[in-house]
């Protein structure tokens, strides 16, 4: 019996980082006949880790049209997710207060989206978009000639590689699987304009939102987790008493960090003796891809807080995302974590850290943590997760800091992270391989080949 054939498409470095963080490539290569495709920048980075791969280049027209289709789709489906309206307002109002109090380019983008959201023009740009992402005949033929049983894409939502993978699977009569490997992609980007046979997502909460927003059937969605989290699970330490560090993980809206760092600095000065007695240290890790003004690391204003030097060095690289193995080591030395509601929050919870989210009022910041918690679908139930503490008032922030610093640290405080992301049984790779085998058996497409 020959192995079933899998075509895998990974479109960017962010997705490749997650894919190669565990044993996915090795496990898929062992169980399936694997055909894998990257764009050139990904291939240059990871080609030493694979034995057989192909390189593709997305047509520029497809990338331009993807942005237009995305914006028009947000307008047409604005009622399905509060994240969509938040995203559109962000185009116009921006992340920070300014003289005009709006972005002229953002306003133009919204006007363009409104125009192309009209039925006739929307159908027209969908047609143009389809023609564009199908235009690389040589790339398409490589997949068609391989005759895969499954085409799998690491997906954001409606980017060209995802649309192409779904279309080619329909053409070949095989199954399509889209792996959504980021927390907010299914809830904040767009509604799927082509539906894959199956979607793989983080956890039960993401699955519920995928059903609501994309109107997918429950049996089309598997909440299997993500490859990137396996390293945190393996590295998790239960030795809570040895944890003395408090990690301050920065927001992507980096100007918001100034307020947070200033208040933490005040707290440290007010409680310096007790902090020294407990041997606690505060470490700041800036967001790897900050938007707008950032905290100046070279003219550091907070001597009570050290800078995570490993991340500082990593952020100077073109591919600025820190390896998971490094970050998991950092998180396993933490007593607790202060963080914006990014994926690092989930990583911290998996490592047994309680997480303090500062949802404070910050002058000049419009896209604040406070507003994100209210308007972004994937964050609305965050406070139901045991171990997550949100501070909306300054006094509460200081009180919560005191309690977390000077109370016992126990990894058992974090009990229901499985609502956010599936972490068991086994590894993400084992769960995904089992799922692929299951659908091949059900469909009868795993056939004997000559």
Tokens 């894409």 -> residue: 153
Half-sphere exposure of 314 (CA within 13 A, CB side): 18
What sign results for the dihedral spanned by CA atoms 308, 311, 315, 317?
Answer: positive
Domains delineated in the chain = 5-57+136-226+424-443 (3.40.50.2000), 61-127 (no CATH), 231-419 (3.40.50.2000)
Phi, psi for 10 (deg, rounded to 5): -120, 120
| Predicted local confidence at residue 128, as pLDDT | 96
| Residue 117 CB coordination number (10 Å) | 18
Q: How far apart are CA 111 and CA 142, in angstroms?
A: 40
Q: Measuring CA to CA, which residue among 273, 393, 275, 416 is closest to residue 335? A: 275
Question: Quick check: helix, strand or coil at residue 391?
Answer: strand
What's the pLDDT band for 400 if we cut at 50, 70, 90? very high
| Residue 177 CB coordination number (10 Å) | 25
Q: How far apart are CA 65 and CA 63, in angstroms?
A: 6
Contact present, 386 and 415 (Cβ < 8 Å): yes
pLDDT tens figures, 194-224: 999 999 999 999 999 999 999 999 999 999 9
Q: How far apart are CA 276 and CA 280, in angstroms?
A: 6
Average pLDDT value for residue range 391-414: 85
Which tokens hold the place of 27?
């496990």
pLDDT tens figures, 236-282: 665 666 788 999 998 887 778 888 999 999 999 999 999 999 999 99
- The region of weakest confidence among 31-35, 289-293, 349-353 is 289-293
pLDDT tens figures, 99-141: 667 788 889 999 999 999 999 999 999 999 999 999 999 999 9
- Within its chain, how far is the Cα of 250 from the centroid? 16
Q: Measuring CA to CA, which residue among 236, 349, 342 is closest to residue 288? A: 342
Tokens 């994926």 -> residue: 343
């Amino acid at each position: 019996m020959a192995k079933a054939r899998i075509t895998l498409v990974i479109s960017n470095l962010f997705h490749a980082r997650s894919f190669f963080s565990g044993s996915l490539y090795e496990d898929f290569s062992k169980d399936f006949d694997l055909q894998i495709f990257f764009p050139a920048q990904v291939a240059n980075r990871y080609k030493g880790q694979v034995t057989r791969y192909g390189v593709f280049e997305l047509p520029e027209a497809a990338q331009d049209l993807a942005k237009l289709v995305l914006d028009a789709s947000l307008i047409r489906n604005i009622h399905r997710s509060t994240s969509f309206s938040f995203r559109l307002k962000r185009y116009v109002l921006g992340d920070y207060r300014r003289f005009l109090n709006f972005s002229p380019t953002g306003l133009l983008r919204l006007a363009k989206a409104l125009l192309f959201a009209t039925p006739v023009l929307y159908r027209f740009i969908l047609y143009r978009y389809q023609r564009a992402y199908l235009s690389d005949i040589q790339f398409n033929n490589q997949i068609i000639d391989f005759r895969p049983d499954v085409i799998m894409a690491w997906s954001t939502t409606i980017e060209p590689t995802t649309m192409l993978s779904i279309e080619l699977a329909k053409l070949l009569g095989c199954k399509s699987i889209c792996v959504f490997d980021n927390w907010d992609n299914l809830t904040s980007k767009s509604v799927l304009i082509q539906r894959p046979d199956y979607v793989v997502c983080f956890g039960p909460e993401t699955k519920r939102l995928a059903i609501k927003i994309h109107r997918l059937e429950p049996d089309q969605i598997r909440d299997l987790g993500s490859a990137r989290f396996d390293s945190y699970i393996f590295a998790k330490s239960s030795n809570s008493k040895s944890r003395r560090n408090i990690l301050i993980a920065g927001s992507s809206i980096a100007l918001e960090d100034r307020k947070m760092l200033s208040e933490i600095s005040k707290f440290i000065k007010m409680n310096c003796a007790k902090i020294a007695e407990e041997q606690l240290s505060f470490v700041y890790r800036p967001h790897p891809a900050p938007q707008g003004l950032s905290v100046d690391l070279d003219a550091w204003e907070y001597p009570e807080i050290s800078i995570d030097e490993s991340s500082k060095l990593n952020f100077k690289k073109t591919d600025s995302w820190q390896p998971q193995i490094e970050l998991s080591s950092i998180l396993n030395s933490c007593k607790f974590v202060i963080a914006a509601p990014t994926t690092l929050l989930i990583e911290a919870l998996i490592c047994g850290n309680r997480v303090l989210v500062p949802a404070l009022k910050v002058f000049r910041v419009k896209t604040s943590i406070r507003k994100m918690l209210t308007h972004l679908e994937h964050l609305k139930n965050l406070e139901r997760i045991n171990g997550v503490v949100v501070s909306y008032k300054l006094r509460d922030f200081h009180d919560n800091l005191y309690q977390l610093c000077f109370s016992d640290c126990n990894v058992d405080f974090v009990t229901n992270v499985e609502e956010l992301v599936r972490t068991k049984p086994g590894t993400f790779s084992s769960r995904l391989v089992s799922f692929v085998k299951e659908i091949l058996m059900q469909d009868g497409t795993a056939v004997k080949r000559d």
